[in-house]
């Protein structure tokens, strides 16, 4: 029976697919054989054939590809004082090496004052008692981590409970500010900066600090006085920091009834570059920007004008993306393929502008999260959000985005990786596995499979998303030349995959992630190969045991699940060097 072949070429499309279709009239091809009849052919028994181009990588990314963000709101709700937590530092170390961007909506309301913490002079209340209690901790319980030279603390349960009560009250105010786009100023003291840098340094993260771009002179030029004070203080402490200026400048008219056009923004970045060069310690510090919002009309025009005038001032071009807004109310919204594909369209738009003006510039996706305005309770902090997060990493890598900064490691709302009890959420474990298994070299994927002819006019969108990289060289459990494949199955049914070509007859290690507990996709707990993932103690991660699949075995992807597969002993040429 003749067959038709449809071939999509990698590079013009995210997916390399070879879809084998039979004409409607050949329905006999799908009939089960009668008992004792001829055995089914290989293709009839296999849903999907998978191969990977192991000759050369299609993209090579930054070693810190998966990186993190902290919002300045942690100053307001008090959580910044708990960055010295031994458990939180351990969790951050689990995602290193990475960048840590200190920025967000409140970047442009941040004021630096080289003063001691004034909390003791505030009136009584949880904040007052917490600050004084922490002073006792600083004097008596801070210990030196001999391995890292870090100041770490084990905070008493009562202290953490008081902080959670305080944070719950403040977070309602923070959410109202974000929904109304009316923000109050945030004061960063020298002591607070010390704590922030201590956290990043202890965790093996490189700090990127966002400076306030809305501090303006009467002629609308940037007022750099506060930034210069911060630079001098940080240089005196020899803090190794990179810098950026502002957050989503395309939204300033809404935020502060003030507009900053592309020419003015370019001048501001040029001024900041000269400031860095005037402070000897930061004369070679990296500068990133302009950190525009989602690439819609105003943001696109701003980025285009900035690249014409100020592109040379930045070391990488940054922009932001979020998938969904507060109208999202159900798990299914996190699994819509149309939604997942919006990122690819936006990356294409941004890359086109950058390559037009500065083709050598790297592009970073900063401040990305599954949902807007702090996320959605019982949705964006659950297993379901992992489909969006891993899809972001896969699509960004395939397009050559150099770094993806996740909003947020630890924060108010529901978009974070770690909750307020310092417990890892599903997206944390997904990120942890990604860091351990996935390297910066991206490989081309070839997929072939059987599929019935679609009904006329019906759009078929891929619910099985497959990506491949060289296995991380930092993982000493696998020799160089190994390949890691990660798969998202959004189907409500099991899918079978047969490794073909260079992957055929190789031993495979499987890391299957599924929700743990009765809540299903609403669960905030994860199981790996059937075992729940829980921290052993404040400094010890659980053992990540793979399931070994014998050579030649068909891979089975359970419904609505995520899995990583390491192909061992393949000696891939692209992954040896």
**pLDDT for the residue numbered 267:** 95
What's the burial of 340, exposed, middle or buried (CB within 10 Å: 0-12/13-18/19+)? buried
**pLDDT for the residue numbered 36:** 43
Q: What is the pLDDT of residues 439-477, one digit of tens each?
A: 999 999 998 875 544 444 433 458 999 999 999 999 999
Q: Does pLDDT of 147 surpass 70?
A: no
Residue 82: DSSP 8-state: G
**pLDDT for the residue numbered 7:** 36
**pLDDT for the residue numbered 563:** 98
> Pairing mode, if any, of strands 17-21 and 48-53?
unpaired
Assess if residue 106 is contained within a domain: yes
Are both 395 and 538 inside the same structural domain? no
For residue 413, what pLDDT band results from cuts at 50, 70 and 90? Answer: low
pLDDT, mean of residues 153-177: 89
At 47, list the tokens: 């849903």
**pLDDT for the residue numbered 151:** 80
For residue 210, which of 257, 272, 260 has the smallest C-alpha distance? Answer: 272
Mean predicted lDDT score pLDDT of the chain: 84
Are both 500 and 430 inside the same structural domain? no
Could you give the percent of the chain with pLDDT greater than 70? 81
Domain count, the chain: 2
Are both 432 and 507 inside the same structural domain? no
Q: In CATH, what number is assigned to the domain containing residue 519?
A: 2.60.40
Are both 367 and 300 inside the same structural domain? yes
**pLDDT for the residue numbered 128:** 47
Are both 219 and 304 inside the same structural domain? yes
Cβ atoms of 375 and 363 within 8 Å: the answer is no
Residue 565 host element (H or E): strand 561-567
Are both 92 and 191 inside the same structural domain? yes
Assess if residue 143 is contained within a domain: no
For residue 424, which of 546, 529, 528, 340 has the smallest C-alpha distance? Answer: 528
Cβ atoms of 378 and 474 within 8 Å: the answer is no
Q: In CATH, what number is assigned to the domain containing residue 109?
A: 3.20.20.80
Are both 184 and 307 inside the same structural domain? yes
Are both 390 and 487 inside the same structural domain? no
Greater pLDDT, 415 or 465: 465
Helix (H, G, I), strand (E, B) or coil at 225: helix
For residue 239, what pLDDT band results from cuts at 50, 70 and 90? Answer: very high
User: Range of 288's domain?
Assistant: 60-116+157-441
Q: Does pLDDT of 100 surpass 70?
A: yes
**pLDDT for the residue numbered 324:** 65
**pLDDT for the residue numbered 28:** 31
Q: Does pLDDT of 38 surpass 90?
A: no
Assess if residue 315 is contained within a domain: yes
Are both 268 and 393 inside the same structural domain? yes
- Contacts of residue 444, Cβ cutoff 8 Å, sequence gap at least 6: 10, 16, 52, 53, 58, 468
Greater pLDDT, 103 or 322: 103
């Amino acid at each position: 029976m003749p067959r038709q072949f449809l071939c999509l070429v990698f590079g013009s499309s995210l997916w390399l697919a070879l879809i084998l279709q039979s004409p409607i009239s050949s329905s006999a091809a799908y009939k089960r054989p009668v008992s004792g009849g001829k055995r089914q052919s290989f293709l009839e028994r296999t849903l999907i054939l998978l191969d990977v181009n192991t000759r050369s990588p299609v993209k090579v990314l930054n070693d810190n590809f998966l990186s993190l963000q902290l919002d300045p709101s942690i100053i307001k709700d008090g959580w910044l004082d708990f960055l010295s937590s031994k458990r939180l530092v351990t969790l951050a170390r689990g995602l290193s090496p990475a960048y840590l961007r200190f920025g967000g909506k409140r970047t442009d309301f941040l004021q630096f004052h080289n003063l001691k913490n004034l909390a003791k002079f505030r009136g009584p209340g949880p904040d007052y008692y917490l600050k004084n209690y922490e002073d006792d901790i600083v004097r008596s319980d801070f210990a030196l981590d001999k391995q890292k030279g870090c100041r770490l603390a084990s905070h008493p349960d009562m202290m953490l409970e008081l902080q959670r009560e305080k944070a719950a009250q403040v977070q309602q105010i923070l959410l109202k500010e974000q929904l109304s786009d009316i923000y109050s100023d945030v004061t960063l003291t020298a002591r607070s900066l010390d704590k922030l840098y201590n956290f990043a340094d202890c965790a093996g993260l490189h700090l990127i600090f966002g400076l306030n771009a809305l501090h303006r002179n009467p002629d609308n030029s940037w007022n750099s006085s506060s930034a210069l004070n911060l630079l001098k203080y940080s240089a005196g402490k020899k803090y190794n920091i990179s810098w950026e200026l502002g957050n989503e400048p395309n939204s300033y008219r809404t935020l502060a009834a003030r507009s900053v056009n592309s020419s003015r923004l370019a001048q501001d970045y040029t001024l900041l570059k000269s400031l860095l060069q005037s402070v000897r310690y930061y004369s070679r510090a990296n500068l990133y920007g302009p950190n525009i919002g989602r690439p819609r009309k105003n943001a696109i025009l701003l980025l285009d004008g900035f690249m014409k005038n100020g592109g040379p001032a930045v070391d990488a071009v940054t922009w932001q993306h979020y998938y969904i807004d507060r109208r999202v109310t159900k798990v299914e919204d996190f699994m819509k393929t149309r939604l997942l594909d919006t990122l690819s369209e936006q990356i294409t738009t941004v890359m086109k502008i950058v390559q037009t003006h500065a083709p050598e510039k790297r592009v970073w996706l900063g401040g990305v999260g599954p949902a807007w305005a702090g996320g959605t309770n019982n949705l964006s902090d659950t297993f379901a959000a992992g489909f969006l997060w891993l899809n972001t990493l896969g699509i960004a890598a395939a397009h050559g985005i150099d770094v993806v900064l996740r909003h947020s490691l630890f924060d108010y709302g529901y978009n974070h990786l770690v909750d307020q009890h310092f417990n890892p959420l599903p997206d944390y474990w997904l990120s942890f596995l990604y860091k351990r298994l996935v390297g910066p070299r991206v490989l081309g994927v070839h997929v072939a499979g059987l599929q019935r002819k679609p009904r006329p006019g019906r759009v078929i969108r891929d619910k099985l998303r497959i990506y491949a990289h060289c296995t991380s060289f930092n993982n000493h459990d696998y020799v160089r030349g190994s390949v890691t494949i990660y798969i998202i199955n959004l189907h409500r049914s099991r899918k079978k995959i047969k490794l073909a070509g260079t992957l055929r007859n190789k031993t495979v290690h499987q890391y299957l992630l599924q929700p743990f507990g009765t809540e299903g996709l609403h669960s905030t707990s994860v199981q790996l190969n059937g075992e729940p993932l829980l921290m052993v103690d404040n400094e010890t991660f659980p053992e990540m045991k793979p399931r070994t699949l014998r050579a030649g075995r068909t891979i089975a992807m359970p419904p609505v699940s995520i899995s990583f597969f390491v192909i061992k002993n393949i000696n891939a040429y692209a992954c040896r060097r």
